[in-house]
Amino acid sequence: MILQPQESSIVKLCLKDTRENISEIFFQPTISSHDIEIHPALHTVKNSCFPTVIRNLGNTTIHFNKGQVFGEATPSFLLKTNENANDKNICGSPNNNTPMCNLITPSEDILKKRKDELSETDFKLEHLTSDKKELLLETLLDRSAAFSKPLKTIGCTDRVIPTFNFRSHNPIKTLPFEIPHAIQGTIKEELNELIEAGLIHRNISQWSSPMVLVKKKQNPTNPHKPASYRMALDLRLLNTILENSTYPLPKIPTLIKEISKYPFFTTIDFCKAYWQILLPEEMQDVLTFTTPFGTFANRRLIFGLKTAASIFQALVDLLIDELKLSGATGIYAYQDDIVIGAHSFQEMHNKIRSVLDILIKYNLTLSPEKCVFFKSTIDYLGFNISHNKIQPITSNILKITSFQPPRTVKQVRRFLGLCGFYRSLIPGFAELTECLTELTRKNVPFQWTPTHQEAFKKLQDVFFTKPFVRLPDWDKPFVLNTDASGQAISDKENTLADFLSRFPVNRTEISNTPQDEQELILPVVGTHCNTINSTSDTSLEISTSTWLKEQADDTQTNEIIQLLKNPSLKDSNNIRGFYIDPTTHILMFKSHRKSQAELIVVPKSLQHKALDICHISHTGLDKTYQIVSNRYYWKGVYIDTKNFVLSCEQCIKDKSFTPKHAPPHLTEYLQDRVIIYQLI
């Protein structure tokens, strides 16, 4: 097996000397290479094999030989469980004798609570017809184990076991922050709730980080309700000694484009996502936090740890890979936000069942009020997505269009950050923001000029029109139409309609009647077109008659021709490889190289012309020589090509000064024009 750099692959691993009754194992990787990433996890075994994901983190190709050992497998029935676990806690209380690799199974009491707390009103299905709503509700309520509302019933899994590497093992210890007296009672209640839910426990450790309070957003429908706070940890010091994770997050533009291929969407959101991943016991000790009411350790992954995002992404990627193996495709995830795409309600219904089943399998739960089912348009990761169409969400458009002219560099950066998130939707974004970006550079004094105001206003105007991208249908054929005419016409919008709706004003031979316009345009868009491989300037072509005449007039080539015409001298070493083409009668040479190319023998008088033809695109020496050596033959061809390229005036000018692209208006001397369009 070969794994390219930065490539992931689902690999089927097989057990050696396995017993037939082993159906579940815990896999622990033992491969030593730092460039290979494999996560330890619990796997279901079928026919002595199980799938897992392997990633090449390095910059070189990795080869795996047949019989390569990747790790060790322990049958699940040999794994010890914690007999002293408190039934009130979902995951129990781990101790030193309990390996953190047993699959966490919710108790019957937890499953009953999840079912009792879930109701039809938790799901937003008013947009569906009665029969579709009834069918979907039945599926959701039957799989109530995949949903949770209070902390006591959220999921807990060890499908991914977090691993952490520290630059230093010297414990970090900090004192607790002060908490206002008015909210101390609220904090105590929340701590007790977390203890009862099994998410934290009292602990004394050499490590400690301070607890901080983050004020939650006020509910606009109830402005008189007392403010509430979210507990978090200040892990800035701990993050300084924690190694970065190499597991990548998906690229948002790529993810959005993939999702928009579907006409219908379902979005599901995890309930307290990070808190559903169990931490190894040694890491629980490191993540001890201090409060005025004592010190506590986290049993679950927490927000604020710099590797937490990568760990959770690894979990959802494993789930999606397992779904793909079962045939469920069109499922995407960025952190805890999962999107399911489908072409019909039945397809969507089947995929929802598959997703809920795998969440139940690994004891992961969703927040029912955050799930949206079977919509034709969704807001996801800052984009409004519909079938083959992507645009910014309305709230971000309002933020940008109502942004006041910046007065500081920080405000300029903030504005550019808001707009830059959507740069893939705005043609020429870099040029449009060039003068604004200049203000953010070091040692550039901030001075807001009319030029900056104009660029600022233009960028806001772009968002007033709600920029969007309509994606092509890749199942339809595309045509690449190249044109080397002396004039070009386009508009600043750079859309195909700008080209099709206008003609060069100085071309009087083209009729302006609507009928003639239709005759000119429709055959281009509506008929099947053959690909044109290349076009050439007829003034640069060498005709057959020219070849014959110049070869006959040249002393050296004519001598070879005469020798070839003499039957008794055909086997002479002096003319080995030369022959006369039976069709054109041109003197040719068959290359002794691997390509066995058939080359035209170029007389002295045509060598400069041949080099002109091969160097018409002003490529470099290597490329030009490659073209020449694949077409022509003469002695000293490399030296002549080198001298020709190095003395080319156009190449010398291009190296000393590279002109900017011409603006998209009427241009008299446009060397090449490329138009790509899709057949309708």
pLDDT for res 655: 64
The answer on 393 and 382 residing in a single domain is: no
Whether residue 297 contacts residue 198, with contact meaning beta carbons closer than 8 Å, is answered with no
SS (H, E, C) 250-314: CCHHHHHHHHCCCCEEEEEEECCHHHHEECCHHHHHHCEEEECCEEEEECECCCCCCCHHHHHHH
pLDDT for res 543: 86
Q: Is this model's pTM higher than 0.85 or not?
A: no
Positions of E strands within 448-560: 469-470, 478-483
The answer on 308 and 374 residing in a single domain is: yes
- Sign of the CA dihedral with 499 first, then 540, 654, and 676 last: positive
Residue 90 lies in a domain: no
Whether residue 299 contacts residue 199, with contact meaning beta carbons closer than 8 Å, is answered with yes
The answer on 289 and 228 residing in a single domain is: yes
d(CA 452, CA 469): 27
Among 455, 470, 485, the domain-final residue is: 470
- 545-575 pLDDT per residue, tens: 899 999 999 988 988 888 888 866 666 667 7
Whether residue 14 contacts residue 37, with contact meaning beta carbons closer than 8 Å, is answered with no
Domains of the chain: total: 4
Residue 612 lies in a domain: yes
Angle at Cα 606 formed by Cα 600 and Cα 607, nearest 5°? 80
The answer on 355 and 225 residing in a single domain is: yes
The answer on 395 and 373 residing in a single domain is: no
- Count the helices and strands in the chain (H runs, E runs): 21, 27
Residue 666 lies in a domain: no
The answer on 369 and 436 residing in a single domain is: no
Residue 610 lies in a domain: yes
Residues of the chain with confidence (pLDDT) below 70: 17-21, 32-34, 76-103, 218-226, 466-469, 471-475, 481-540, 567-573, 593-596, 655-680
Residue 481 lies in a domain: no
pLDDT for res 527: 38
d(CA 157, CA 153): 13
The answer on 444 and 369 residing in a single domain is: no
Which phi and psi (to 5°) does residue 264 adopt? -130, 145
- Sign of the CA dihedral with 629 first, then 633, 634, and 635 last: positive
The answer on 363 and 215 residing in a single domain is: yes
The answer on 569 and 462 residing in a single domain is: no
The answer on 216 and 338 residing in a single domain is: yes
The answer on 365 and 422 residing in a single domain is: no
Q: In what order do the strands lie in the sheet with 632-633?
A: 578-580, 587-590, 598-601, 632-633
The answer on 640 and 563 residing in a single domain is: yes
Whether residue 626 contacts residue 632, with contact meaning beta carbons closer than 8 Å, is answered with no
- The domain spanning residue 10 has which CATH number? 2.70.40.10
Domain interval for residue 458: 389-470
Q: In what order do the strands lie in the sheet with 229-233?
A: 200-202, 294-298, 288-291, 209-215, 229-233
Among 55, 78, 101, the domain-final residue is: 78
Residue 323 lies in a domain: yes
pLDDT for res 618: 87
d(CA 549, CA 32): 70
Q: Which amino acid is at 357?
A: D
Among 434, 450, 470, the domain-final residue is: 470
Instruction: Give the pair of three-digit tokens for residue 566.
Output: 């003499």
Residue 434 lies in a domain: yes
- 37-60 pLDDT per residue, tens: 787 777 788 888 888 888 787 778
Residue 513 lies in a domain: no
- The domain spanning residue 199 has which CATH number? 3.30.70.270
How crowded is residue 330: how many other Cβ atoms within 10 Å of its Cβ? 19
- The domain spanning residue 590 has which CATH number? 1.10.340.70
